[in-house]
Structure 1
Amino acid sequence: MNTPVWNPAIEFMEREALERLQLARLRNTIAWALKTPFYKRRLAEIGLSHPEEIASLRDVRRLPYTTKDDLRDAYPEGLLAVDREEVVRLHTSSGTTGAPTVIYHTQHDIDGWTELVARCIIATGATRRDVFQNMTNYGLFTGGLGLHYGAERVGMLVIPASSGNTSRQIQLMRNFRVTVVHATPSYLLHLQATLADEGVNVAELALQKAFIGAEPHSEETRHKIENLLGVKAYNSYGLSEMNGPGVAFECLHQTGLHLWEDAYILEIIDPETLQPLAEGQIGEIVLTSLQRQATPLLRYRTRDLSHLVSGHCPCGRIHRRLARLQGRSDDLLIINGVNVFPSQIESALM
C-alpha cells in the first residue's frame, strides 16, 4: 500500500532532526510567551528569562503547567503575545462552567493550523477528488472551521452544512454525491436513524469515510458507525486551546492517532502525581504549542486521558501515536480501587 502523504519532508523526517526542530521551536515559543503578562510572571518565578536557557527537550519539564483556570484568569488579553492589529481571528469558549477562555490567531497561526488539518485528511487516503460535507458547528467552536479550511487546502469540494437539519443533510449527501463527512459520533448515529426513518438505503449514497471526534466514544461505537453507514471511520483529536482539530489523527492503518510533533510537544503524566508515564500507561495528555504566535501555551494540561502507542506504524510516519481517548481525568471513577472510565461502561453497554 502506497502511503498517502501531504508533507513528506516533515511526516517522514528522521527522529533526531525532528527533535532538533522541536527544540528550536520550543525556544521560539518561549520567546513569544515572554511577551505575555501571564508567562512573563510565571517564567520569572522559575528564574527563566531567556529562551536559550532551555538546553534540551528534557528542559520542558522545568516549565510550569498551564491549566484551564489559568486561561480563565488571563481572560481576555493576559495570554496575548502580539499586538491586536496582528490578530485575524479569535475563538472563545462559552464560559458555561466558569469564565470564558479565548485563543487568538495571527494569519501565521491560521496557516499553520490549516496545514496540520490537511495532513490529517490526506493521511486517511482522502484526496482532492472527494466531496466533503462538514456536519459540525461553525462560529466560535473550532471544529467546523478547522476541518473546512484543511479540506479546502487539500482541494476538496467542501459543503459547509454545519450541524442539525438532518433531512437537509441527507438531501445534500444525495444530490452532491458526498464521499467524506465530519461529525460527532452521536450525530452520525442519529443520521443513520433518520436515513432509516426516511427510507433511504445507505447503498444509495457515495459515502466512503467519516471523520469523528469532539466527544469521547468507544471502539464499539466506531464499529457501529462503520457498519451502519458503510464507511471507514477515522478518529480525530483536537482541542480549542491547541487550535482545534488537527492535533492528532488516524492514518489508513488506524494503529493510533499520529500527533504532529513539529507543532506540539507531547507529554503523558499521572494526573495526581504529575510524574511522566511510560508508553502504554494511561495518563493525562499535556501539550506545548510550537508554532503559535498569538497565544502560545506551555505544558497545557488538557485533562484528556490516553496513552502512547508503542512500536512503529506501517505508514512510516515517525510522529508518535496516541491511543483513542479514554475520557477525561475529571470523569475518572475509582471503584474498589480500580480506575474505571466512562468509555469502558459504554463498551459494556454497546
Structure 2
Amino acid sequence: MIKYYNEAIETLDRERLRLLQQERLVKQVHILYEKVSFYRNMFDQAGISPAMIRTVEDLQLIPFTKKDALRDNYPFGLFTLPRSAVSRLHCSSGTTGKPIVVGYTQNDLDIFSEVIARSLVAAGCQPGMLMQNAYGYGLFTGGLGLHYGAEKMGMTVLPISGGGTEKQLMLMQDFQSDAICCTPSYALTLAEEIRKRGIDKSKLNLRYAVLGAEPWTDSIRTQVEEGLGVTATNIYGLSEIIGPGVSQEDYEEKGSGSYIWEDHFYPEIVDKDTGEVLPHGQQGVLVFTTLSKEAMPLLRYWTNDITSIYYDKSAKRSHIKMAPISGRADDMLIIRGVNLFATQVEAVLEHISELSANYQLVVTNSGLMDEVMVRVETEQVLYEALGRECGDALGHDKIKTAKQVLQKKIKDSIGLSMQIEITAPGLIPRSEGGKLNRLSDLRNKK
C-alpha cells in the first residue's frame, strides 16, 4: 500500500522546500511583470520592481490580487501567453453574467493532475481502485480535475458526473466502486437514499469519499461515514489557483487539517481589514501565490476564505496544513458546490419586466441539501392592473409565466435550481438607511 504519490517532494526538508519556493517565486514575478500589464501597472504604482522580490517574505510588498481583477481583465487579460498556446479553459461563477476565466498550459494540466494524485493517495486511494467521480464535468474544474488526477495515480475512473442518483447507486453496486468524489451534501443524499432503499452497505465496496467544493463540518463527516461506510476526507481548491487539489486532508490524520501542496501554492493568512500578515495559527483570510503556473499565474490572490495555517510536528508530510474553512470574508454563498452571489440573481431579474427589483434570497437546509428560495415582488403597476382584471394578480398567467422564466434563467445562467416565491408589492424588507441584506441564511438557525 502506497502512502505517498511523490514522497520526495511531500516529505522534502522545509529548508529545501523554502528554497524551491523562492526560486519559483522569483521566476514568476519576473514573467508576470514582463508579460501581464495588470501586474506591471500594479508594481509601478506601488513603487516596487521585480528585483525587490527575492524571498517569500518579500511578498508583503506586493498588493493583493482580488476577484475584480479577473473580471476586469475578462476573458484573457491575465494570461502570460497567447490564447493559442493555452491547452484548456475553465470558468467559475462570478457576481455578474460574465464568468471568471482560467487557463492552463499542458504543463499546468500536468501539475493539476499531480496535486490531485497526491491528494487521492492522502485520502487513502490506491492504484487499481475504481473511482466514481460524481463531480460535474464541463466548465467547472472539479470533474475533469479529479478525473485526470485519478488516472495519473493509476485508478480506474467512472466519469458519471453529478446527479442521477438512481444510476449512481446502481453503478456503485454493480461496478463495486472503491471510492467516490462529490460534494459533501451529495454524499449525504446518497447515504439517505441507501437507507431509504434498504441497500445493504456490507455488499458495497465503497471505502473512501473525497469531498469538497463546499464547506462542511465534522458532523457531516460522521453522517457520511456512517451512511456510506467510508472514510471521508476534505479536498480544497479554487479555480483561480488551479482547481481542487490545492490542499487535502490525510485519511490517517483526520481532524488535524489539510496539507497545502506548497511547492506549487504559497499560502499566507492576513487580517481581513488591514491586510497584515498574521502568525501561523491565527485566523484570517487565506491568500495564495502560485509558484509554477504558466498560463495564468496569480500573486497574493485574496480567496475570501477564513482559516488558519500551521505546521503539524507529528504529521507524515513536511508541507503546511490549513484548518477547515470557517466562513467567508464576503457575502458569497457556496450552494451544492456552486458559488452564488445575490447580484447574480439581481442581474437575471433586470430582464423580467413583470417582476420588481426588490427580492430576497432565503437559504435553508431542508433535509440533507442546501436550498435557495428567491422571494421577489411583482412590479407595482402590473400588479394593480392584473388585480383589477382578475382579482388575483398572483394567479394570473403572466405572473405564472414570469415565475417559470425566472426559474429557467437562474438555472441556465447560475447553474442552480431555486424555488421561486412571487409576492405582492411591499412584502419583502426594504432598507431603512443601512445596508440592505439580500440574503437570509437560515441554515444555522434551527
TM-score (norm. length: structure 1): 0.91
CA contact (8 A) 2:124 2:208 kept: no
Match of 1:217 in 2: 216
Which residue identity does 1:283 align to in structure 2? G
Match of 1:319 in 2: 319
Which residue identity does 1:306 align to in structure 2? T
Query: How far 1:14 sits from its partner (Å)?
Result: 0.8
2-side partners of 1:329 and 1:11: how far apart? Answer: 30
Query: How far 1:47 sits from its partner (Å)?
Result: 3.1
CA contact (8 A) 1:220 1:347 kept: no
2-side partners of 1:28 and 1:285: how far apart? Answer: 23
CA contact (8 A) 2:195 2:227 kept: no
Query: How far 1:314 sits from its partner (Å)?
Result: 3.2
CA contact (8 A) 1:92 1:101 kept: yes
Match of 2:48 in 1: 48
Pair 1:32-2:14 in alignment: no
Partner deviation per Cα, 1:245-292 (whole Å, 9 max, x = no partner): 110001122221000110011001111111122222211100000111
Match of 1:148 in 2: 147
Query: How far 1:154 sits from its partner (Å)?
Result: 0.6
Partner deviation per Cα, 1:150-176 (whole Å, 9 max, x = no partner): 100011010000001101001111111
SS in structure 2 of the partner of residue 241 of structure 1? coil
SS in structure 1 of the partner of residue 89 of structure 2? strand
2-side partners of 1:40 and 1:10: how far apart? Answer: 32
2-side partners of 1:142 and 1:313: how far apart? Answer: 32
Query: How far 1:3 sits from its partner (Å)?
Result: 7.0
Alignment of 1:295-306 (within 5 A): 295-306=296-307
Which residue identity does 1:55 align to in structure 2? R
1-side partners of 2:78 and 2:172: how far apart? Answer: 41
CA contact (8 A) 1:113 1:146 kept: yes
2-side partners of 1:129 and 1:268: how far apart? Answer: 38
CA contact (8 A) 1:32 1:296 kept: no
CA contact (8 A) 1:72 1:101 kept: yes
Match of 1:125 in 2: 124
Partner deviation per Cα, 1:7-57 (whole Å, 9 max, x = no partner): 11111111111111001100111122120121121122223343x431222
CA contact (8 A) 2:123 2:210 kept: no
1-side partners of 2:290 and 2:17: how far apart? Answer: 15
1-side partners of 2:129 and 2:66: how far apart? Answer: 39
SS in structure 1 of the partner of residue 267 of structure 2? strand
SS in structure 2 of the partner of residue 22 of structure 1? helix
Q: Which is bigger in relative contact order (C-alpha 8 A, separation at least 6)?
A: 1
2-side partners of 1:95 and 1:60: how far apart? Answer: 26
Query: How far 1:181 sits from its partner (Å)?
Result: 0.2
CA contact (8 A) 2:311 2:319 kept: no
2-side partners of 1:331 and 1:312: how far apart? Answer: 35
Match of 1:264 in 2: 265
CA 320–180 in structure 1, closer or farther in 2 if over 3 Å, else same: same
2-side partners of 1:244 and 1:235: how far apart? Answer: 14
TM-score (norm. length: structure 2): 0.72
2-side partners of 1:231 and 1:161: how far apart? Answer: 19
Bigger CA drift: 197-206 or 130-139?
197-206
1-side partners of 2:171 and 2:48: how far apart? Answer: 55
Bigger CA drift: 208-217 or 120-129?
120-129
Alignment of 1:156-175 (within 5 A): 156-175=155-174
Pair 1:80-2:86 in alignment: no
2-side partners of 1:7 and 1:277: how far apart? Answer: 30
2-side partners of 1:108 and 1:227: how far apart? Answer: 39
Match of 2:330 in 1: 330
Which residue identity does 1:327 align to in structure 2? G
Residues paired across the two proteins, number: 336
SS in structure 2 of the partner of residue 21 of structure 1? helix
CA contact (8 A) 1:285 1:306 kept: yes
Larger radius of gyration: 2
Which residue identity does 1:299 align to in structure 2? R
- CA-based RMSD of the aligned residues comes to 2.0
Match of 2:396 in 1: none
SS in structure 2 of the partner of residue 146 of structure 1? helix
Which residue identity does 2:55 align to in structure 1? S
Partner deviation per Cα, 1:317-342 (whole Å, 9 max, x = no partner): 1100001111211259xxxxxxxxxx
CA contact (8 A) 1:218 1:347 kept: no
CA contact (8 A) 2:134 2:162 kept: yes
Pair 1:294-2:287 in alignment: no
Match of 2:335 in 1: none
Alignment of 1:227-242 (within 5 A): 227-242=226-241
CA 300–96 in structure 1, closer or farther in 2 if over 3 Å, else same: closer
CA 62–3 in structure 1, closer or farther in 2 if over 3 Å, else same: farther
Regions of 4+ moved over 4 Å = 345-349
CA contact (8 A) 2:2 2:121 kept: no
SS in structure 2 of the partner of residue 288 of structure 1? strand
SS in structure 1 of the partner of residue 330 of structure 2? helix
SS in structure 1 of the partner of residue 298 of structure 2? coil
Query: How far 1:346 sits from its partner (Å)?
Result: 6.4
- Gap regions ≥5 residues in structure 2: 333-441
Which residue identity does 1:322 align to in structure 2? M
CA contact (8 A) 1:258 1:321 kept: yes
Bigger CA drift: 52-61 or 133-142?
52-61
2-side partners of 1:259 and 1:314: how far apart? Answer: 13
Which residue identity does 1:287 align to in structure 2? F
